[in-house]
Structure 1
């Protein structure tokens, strides 16, 4: 009864181009749709040469044109970077283009370092402390309730499903207070996952948007036809994580055999912690690791993610993951 969805950071590989990354995104979304994924999300990141989804609403429209049924959206839009009215207009436009298919996950991080954040905002007057107010302002535009005195066009009355994103307890508390579904970024920041899930479920208040808590957890999957190949393919993402954690974002590199053995104890410990919400292996190992994660968390939905240098290998990985999810949850939940 656990749903499964896909987060795509639209990776730009070493030797590749943004155009290629965007073409791959559309192809991956079509593939995910054919496999029964609930939703396909892209995330707002800035100033990162290995991620091509900075203009998030534009990428969603690109993917929407290639697909017909799968829900599409942002996981997420970093709301402190934007005026809520502009977000309402952008996602109201997406809803008009792709009715009933648009999700809008909202985060309060900048999606970049402070230097890039300042360039986006032209000043740091807007910050995460205003996030709850901005979420409610955005809700008002979509509800067209007149509270702001401004009618968003497009946007007023749009059927956009809002989510709160987070990697700490703040987002869990806000999602519970507003009665919204909650997505936790356990695929790269798993430290507070269990505590955040508990806070959200204990304090959830039903709303017109959602009658009961709905938890979606980020989860990395690197699957192949055998364990050794999966371990090899996963090293591209591992190299990228290490680069980001050491302050140097890179384009997605090709995989390297034996990469983790080169890291040393400190690097290995960091990577093991960051990627603790992950499954790496052949079909049986993937199924077992996902089952263990679901048993631990009781997640209503998994947001599967991974980056692989080879596009066709990544599609095969998604196929194996979807087969595992269907085997574990013959009747899937959807929010």
Structure 2
């Protein structure tokens, strides 16, 4: 009878396997700088947090308090990770400073719903000054041509790969430069009220192999060096970075570039599968220099892409941080 009771209150073999499946990935992600596969794990921290919390509930129900505490400890560490990466920071509007609105969108290659995106942009955000489109294929050509009257300044490298890119601007005196690196990016240089604004749209490769992870990190390093040389000017960098705030390479990019992250609110934009309601991963990122205030950052619909639109509003003035902010979303 005693051995029967002991077996009854011991976790079953499948429960031990479940525990390893829940706890091991987030723990391994803490050592992301060791190997590119561990860096991939940092992309799914929100999912790990949910899994660990559900695991803790399960172990409490099964009366295995020690295992429940283990899940809660791992959950607490991840909650701190998320909280540190998403602490709010917005600038104070200055009445006399010019305002700029930027839209960024990984439209997803072969997306059939692009006309709906442009219609939405014209209807709800007609005052958008600069539009950055990623995964821009040749099928986009007629749509971009139709936008020429509203966005007369355009630069693009349309491609049937995920690394086509386009940037549109309606701001006068815009100079667009297509940088043909291994993975192209576009920089807009605009003279506004006697000040120079640089807006850079990027799409580094995803970390799905050792070589692509190395290429992503190399492009981020090159970009950080380019931005640091532009320090006297105002700089905004947007795009699908294929990196999350929990990766050590994200932190290194911030340190080397001297930029500030504008991704500091719970505004995820991507999911590893097609789901409108479970996009928990923030990889469509926004960064800025000291001389630009972020006034608002909105996340819009997906329009059948695996990403969501991001609209950010900026002001060219010295950065003054406030504690009380409002983050709108659509």
TM-score by length of 1: 0.33
Q: Which has the larger radius of gyration?
A: 2
More helix by share: 1
Q: Which has the higher strand share?
A: 2
TM-score in terms of structure 2 length: 0.33
